[in-house]
């Protein structure tokens, strides 16, 4: 079984301007091409997993999403990087139109997109890595068995579920050495062994900020 680098799209691959669905709206996050190239070189399958509620809300079509995905994948290829697979959820439990209004198993924080990718690509959950920018991204990955979780910019620190704390490292850049070291280790990482975090100084709850205890 192979390791995967799971990436959220909006907020990780591109700046989240809100319901991005056209090429002229895409602003790639600094470092994303380098990160994906490194993952390609070290044997990780690169998988994007993205909620696309704009489809459910009727703001754009699935064809629009697929056309943009093809365009984005071409930009990666031009940069010498490869996106191996893109999984998307077109549903929303309350705001979806018609058949797209449903509580599905693919919309994060449910793990459906992750488990489907694992089946399709014979991926190893404990060897895999996830980079997201929301608690729902990390919860979905954790529920699918991914234990190496990275949160970019950690905007959800006040609402991040307690179960995610031990497994999550907050980073301010996609090329943080702790993330790149883990990818460089590649498939030599022993299954089930977490990364060495003895030198971490920027977890979701850094030591300088006391954790809130439940009342």
> Catalytic site residues?
8, 10
CB 36 within 8 A of CB 82: yes
Of 162, 172, 174, 180, give the one whose Cα is nearest residue 201.
172
Query: CB of 49 within 8 A of CB of 11?
Result: no
Give the Cβ contact number of residue 149 at 10 Å.
23
CA proximity to 87, closest of 50, 142, 129: 50
Phi-psi sector, 114: left (phi>0), alpha (psi -120 to 50), beta: alpha
How far is it, in rounded angstroms, from Cα 18 to Cα 13?
Answer: 14
Beta-bridge mates of residue 101: 92
* Cβ atoms < 10 Å from Cβ of 132: 25
């Amino acid at each position: 079984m192979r390791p995967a680098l799971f990436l959220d799209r909006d907020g990780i691959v591109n700046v989240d301007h809100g319901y991005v669905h056209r090429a002229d709206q895409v602003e790639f996050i600094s470092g994303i091409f380098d990160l994906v190239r490194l993952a390609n070189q070290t044997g990780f399958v690169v998988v994007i997993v993205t909620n696309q509620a704009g489809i459910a809300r009727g703001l754009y079509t699935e064809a629009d999403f697929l056309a943009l995905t093809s365009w984005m994948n071409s930009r990666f290829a031009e940069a010498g990087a490869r996106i191996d697979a893109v999984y998307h959820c077109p549903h929303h439990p309350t705001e979806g139109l018609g058949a797209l209004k449903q509580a599905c198993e693919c919309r994060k924080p449910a793990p459906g997109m992750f488990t489907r990718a694992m089946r399709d690509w014979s991926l190893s959950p404990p060897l895999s890595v996830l980079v997201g920018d929301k608690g729902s991204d990390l919860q979905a990955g954790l529920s699918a068995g991914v234990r190496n979780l990275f949160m970019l910019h950690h905007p959800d620190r006040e609402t991040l579920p307690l179960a995610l704390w031990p497994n999550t490292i907050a980073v301010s850049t996609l090329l943080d050495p702790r993330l790149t070291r883990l990818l460089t280790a590649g498939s030599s990482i022993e299954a089930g062994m977490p990364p060495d975090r003895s030198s971490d100084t920027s977890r979701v709850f850094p030591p300088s900020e006391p954790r809130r205890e439940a009342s």
